[in-house]
């Protein structure tokens, strides 16, 4: 009996790729480059499963391609706003993702960005590398205190709660959060966390605001010029969620005009393109979407995709089916 044909859009950790090769007839993107719409359409027409990443914009036009062979999109990642889910539903495509295994690595990056933004870490690194540092001075590069400050979390799922634990128990930060319904009492009791009645309330209270909401139409430009005006001039914005949650132009203006103190970004609108306005600013820390980028986490994500594919081809229940 022939093995199912599987197409993988980007390179994965070697251990997982070897397992894929043993189980399926696999085609890898050996150049590890972004694929064109035509190449993605070809994959859907010629493979039983396609395994995309956040880099692969699977629009309705691509998903609706004629003579489709693909029956499952085994997404390598938790977020799936790069996939037109409504089109996938209409076409009978199963979509799975990889939740639960990247919680701590992404929370670690959020804390890294918070600390770098607060203490002007990226700016200091650039100064030393440019050989412009002239030695210690009592007023040089004064920055923001983290210990005891208030951290506001927009969204309060696994990653936000993991960040809150690191911030509260590690740095004594006060935790406020916003989500439509209250979090479990055992979680909020451990963190001494307070739920805000609105995002607006949270923005006004917080010294650091960290975004942990999903991407998509409902949250596009959730953080816009009006919302940024509510933040303290001393506050910092951290985004490890999705780039389109933040209006880049509005954030650049707020940073440039010192309406807020700083920002730390791991995700961007239209990535891998980054708005040129960010590149000229010293008060923003820019990372290249490193949230889940540890070997252990990326391997675990690949293992999740493998488990989803195995269940699908065996006709078993899918634990990570998006819809």
In sequence order, what DSSP letters do the residues of 5-24 get, joined into one string?
A: EEEESS---HHHHHHHHHHS
Within the chain, strands assigned E span 5-8, 25-28, 49-51, 72-74, 94-96, 150-154, 174-178, 194-195, 208-211, 236-239, 262-265, 284-286
DSSP three-state, residue 60:
helix
Domain match, 126 and 272 both: yes
What CATH number is given to the structural domain containing 126? 3.40.50.720
Please report, in tens digits, the pLDDT of each residue of the chain (323 residues total).
799 999 999 999 999 999 999 999 999 999 999 999 999 999 999 999 999 999 999 999 999 999 999 999 999 999 999 999 999 999 999 999 999 999 999 999 999 999 999 999 999 999 999 999 999 999 999 999 999 999 999 999 999 999 999 999 999 999 999 999 999 999 999 999 999 999 999 999 999 999 999 988 999 999 999 999 999 999 999 999 999 999 999 999 999 999 999 999 999 999 999 999 999 999 999 999 999 999 999 999 999 999 999 999 999 999 999 98
Query: In the 3-class helix/strand/coil scheme, how is 259-316 assigned residue by residue?
Result: CCCEEEECCCCCCCCCCHHHHCCCCEEECCCCCCCCHHHHHHHHHHHHHHHHHHHHCC
Domain match, 120 and 261 both: yes
> Is-above-0.75 flag for pTM?
yes
Query: What is the distance of C-alpha 81 from the center of its chain?
Result: 11
Q: What is the pLDDT of residue 35?
A: 97
Q: Catalytic positions, please?
A: 242, 271, 289
Residue 83 inside a domain? The answer is yes
Domain match, 58 and 38 both: yes
Residue 298 inside a domain? The answer is yes
Residue 319 inside a domain? The answer is no
Domain match, 194 and 182 both: yes
Domain match, 130 and 216 both: yes
Domain match, 156 and 64 both: no
Domain match, 69 and 202 both: no
Tokens of 148: 């005891």
Domain match, 164 and 211 both: yes
The domain containing residue 254 runs over which residues? 103-286
| Total domain count, the chain | 2
Domain match, 41 and 155 both: no
């Amino acid at each position: 009996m022939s093995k199912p044909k599987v197409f993988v859009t980007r390179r994965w950790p070697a251990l997982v790729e070897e397992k894929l090769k043993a189980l399926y007839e696999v085609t890898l993107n050996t150049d590890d480059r972004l694929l064109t719409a035509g190449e993605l359409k070809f994959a859907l027409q010629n493979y039983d499963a396609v395994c995309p990443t956040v880099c692969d914009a699977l629009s309705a036009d691509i998903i609706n391609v004629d003579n489709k062979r693909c029956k499952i999109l085994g997404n390598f990642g938790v977020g799936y706003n790069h996939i037109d889910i409504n089109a996938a539903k209409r076409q009978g495509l199963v979509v799975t993702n990889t939740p639960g295994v990247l919680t701590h690595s992404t929370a670690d990056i959020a804390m890294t960005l918070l600390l770098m933004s607060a203490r002007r870490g990226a700016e200091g690194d650039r100064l030393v590398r440019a050989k412009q540092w002239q030695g210690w001075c009592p007023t040089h590069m004064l920055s923001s205190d983290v210990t005891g400050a208030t951290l506001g979390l927009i969204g309060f799922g696994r990653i936000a709660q993991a960040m809150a634990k690191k911030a509260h128990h590690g740095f004594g930060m006060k935790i406020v959060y916003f989500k439509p319904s209250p979090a479990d009492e055992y979680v909020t009791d451990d963190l001494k966390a307070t739920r805000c009645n609105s995002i607006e309330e949270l923005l006004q209270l917080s010294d650091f605001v960290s975004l942990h909401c999903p991407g998509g139409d409902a949250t596009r430009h959730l953080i816009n010029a009006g919302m940024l005006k509510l933040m303290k001039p001393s506050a910092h914005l951290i985004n490890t969620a999705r780039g389109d949650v933040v209006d880049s132009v509005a954030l650049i203006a707020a940073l440039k005009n010192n309406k807020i103190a700083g920002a730390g970004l791991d995700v961007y609108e239209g990535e891998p393109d980054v708005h040129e306005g960010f590149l000229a600013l010293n008060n923003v820390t820019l990372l290249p979407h490193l949230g889940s980028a540890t070997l252990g986490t990326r391997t675990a994500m690949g293992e999740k995709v493998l488990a989803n594919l195995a269940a699908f081809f065996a006709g078993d229940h899918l634990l990570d089916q998006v819809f």
